[in-house]
């Protein structure tokens, strides 16, 4: 029994010692493992930081061009955006100014239309201004090539005042009167119903006929000298005349029978340019005549001058002959006697009588310029 107990106790002690050693070994192992793990973690963390720093620097060096390009792109985008804002602001201002200008033009146009519709004198002045603009655009000038508001007396004691009288070369005149038919035309193109539009066009054609009758009755050709037997009726717009002719195709012949020639800015420009061209030709012809007269007078004066030059040449020949005769007489009558002083050893003071030259050059005659007898007589 005792041996058993002793054996059990021995085993128990051994077990306790083993457990104690195991616990100690476990504590030592855990301590060593903790230290190793801590050292490993510290070393790993240090390596990781080193790797992160080197990788960060490498990545930074790799991404630096991208960053710079993105910075430049951002700067360019900002500049474009600023320019876009400026341009948009400028465009907005221009659009606002354009809108204001359009509204102002529309308002002024409306005022002009109302003035032309409600004031016959304003329509007349507008037509006269359009007529003057057409003539001046063709090179004709007021007071020199045409006159405005010319007043002449008619046969009944009244006064006639055509809008424009164009001077034509040769002392002739062309009478032009501006007539504006506006109200019925505007009513026609402002109408919605076709029947109403046709009625207004008929009124417009009737108003044109009334102007034709008025001008034909004035008979300007009887009041102005050298004037064609017709008067030009200026309509300041092709659309006015075209609308009347569309409704009344016989209006042109109707006006021509009454010695009235219908003219719009287009065909009046052709007439005015023709007159201006004729005036230029007349001016050139006048200058040519003046040049011819100056040339004739210059020729006559040169002929007289040639006569005087020939007379001077003859006088020079006579003077040369007289000089040669004097030299011959001097040599034969005086110089021979003087030479005898030298033979007699007379003191002459070291002076000698020079040999006189003989003038044998004759004056050159004028062979190419023959003076006309009449011109010579006139000059003298």
Closest CA to 175 of 222, 209, 127, 141: 222
Q: Which two tokens stand for residue 75?
A: 């700067």
CB 175 within 8 A of CB 231: yes
Least confident of 13-17, 116-120, 121-125: 116-120
> To 10 degrees, what angle do helices 265-329 and 120-137 make?
40
Task: Give the number of other Cβ atoms within 10 Å of residue 128's Cβ.
Answer: 20
The domain 114-283 is placed in CATH, from the list 3.40.50, 1.10.3470, 1.10.8, 3.40.1350, at 3.40.1350
Structure tokens at 142: 């007021």
Per-residue pLDDT averaged across 351-374, rounded? 61
pLDDT in tens, 303-336: 888 888 888 888 888 888 888 888 778 777 777 7
Given pLDDT bands bounded at 50, 70 and 90, which one contains residue 372? very low
Per-residue confidence (pLDDT) for residue 359, from 0 to 100: 65
What phi, psi does 6 have (nearest 5°)? -65, -40
- DSSP-derived secondary structure for 325-372: HHHHHIIIIIIHHHHHHHHTT---TT--PPPPP---PPPPP--S-PPP
Q: What is the pLDDT of residues 23-35, one digit of tens each?
A: 777 777 777 777 7
Contact 150, 160 (CB under 8 A): no
Judged against a pLDDT cut of 70, whether residue 159 lies above it is answered with yes
pLDDT interval class at 379 (50, 70, 90): very low
The answer to whether 271 touches 232, Cβ cutoff 8 Å, is yes
Give the pLDDT of residue 380. 41
Contact status, residue 349 vs residue 367, Cβ threshold 8 Å: no
**What integer is the mean pLDDT of 90-108?**
79
- The arithmetic mean of pLDDT across residues 165-186, rounded, is 78
- CA dist 314 and 110 (Å) reads 91
Instruction: Say if residue 37's pLDDT is above 70.
Output: yes
The per-type count for the chain, helices as H runs and strands as E runs, is 9, 7
Q: What is the pTM of this model?
A: 0.45
């Amino acid at each position: 029994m005792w041996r058993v107990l002793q054996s059990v106790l021995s085993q128990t002690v051994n077990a306790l010692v083993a457990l104690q050693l195991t616990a100690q070994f476990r504590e030592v192992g855990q301590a060593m493992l903790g230290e190793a793990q801590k050292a490993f973690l510290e070393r790993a963390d240090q390596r990781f930081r080193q790797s992160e720093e080197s990788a960060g620097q490498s990545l930074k060096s790799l991404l630096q061009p991208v960053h710079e390009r993105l910075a430049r792109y951002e700067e360019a985008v900002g500049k474009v955006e600023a320019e876009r804002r400026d341009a948009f602001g400028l465009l907005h201002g221009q659009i606002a100014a354009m809108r204001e200008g359009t509204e102002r033009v529309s308002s002024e146009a409306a005022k002009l239309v109302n003035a032309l519709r409600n004031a016959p004198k304003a329509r007349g002045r507008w037509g006269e201004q359009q007529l003057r603009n057409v003539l001046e655009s063709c090179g004709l000038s007021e007071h020199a090539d045409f006159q405005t508001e010319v007043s002449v007396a008619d046969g009944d004691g009244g006064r006639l005042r055509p809008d424009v009288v164009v001077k034509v070369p040769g002392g002739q005149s062309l009478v032009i009167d501006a007539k504006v038919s506006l109200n019925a035309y505007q009513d026609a193109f402002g109408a919605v119903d076709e029947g109403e539009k046709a009625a207004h066009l008929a009124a417009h054609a009737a108003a044109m006929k009334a102007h034709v009758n008025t001008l034909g009755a004035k008979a300007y050709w009887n009041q102005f000298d050298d004037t064609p037997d017709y008067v030009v009726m200026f309509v300041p717009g092709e659309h006015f005349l075209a609308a009347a002719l569309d409704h009344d195709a016989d209006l042109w012949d109707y006006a021509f029978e009454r010695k009235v020639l219908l003219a719009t800015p287009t065909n009046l420009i052709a007439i005015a340019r023709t007159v201006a061209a004729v005036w230029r030709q007349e001016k050139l012809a006048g200058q040519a005549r003046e040049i011819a007269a100056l040339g004739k007078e210059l020729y006559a004066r040169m002929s007289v001058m040639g006569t005087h030059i020939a007379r001077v040449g003859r006088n020079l020949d006579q003077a040369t002959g007289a000089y040669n005769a004097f030299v011959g007489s001097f040599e034969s009558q005086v110089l021979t006697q003087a030479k005898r002083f030298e033979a007699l050893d007379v003191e002459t003071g070291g002076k000698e009588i020079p040999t006189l030259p003989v003038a044998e050059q004759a004056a050159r005659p004028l062979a190419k310029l023959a003076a006309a007898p009449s011109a010579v007589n006139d000059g003298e």
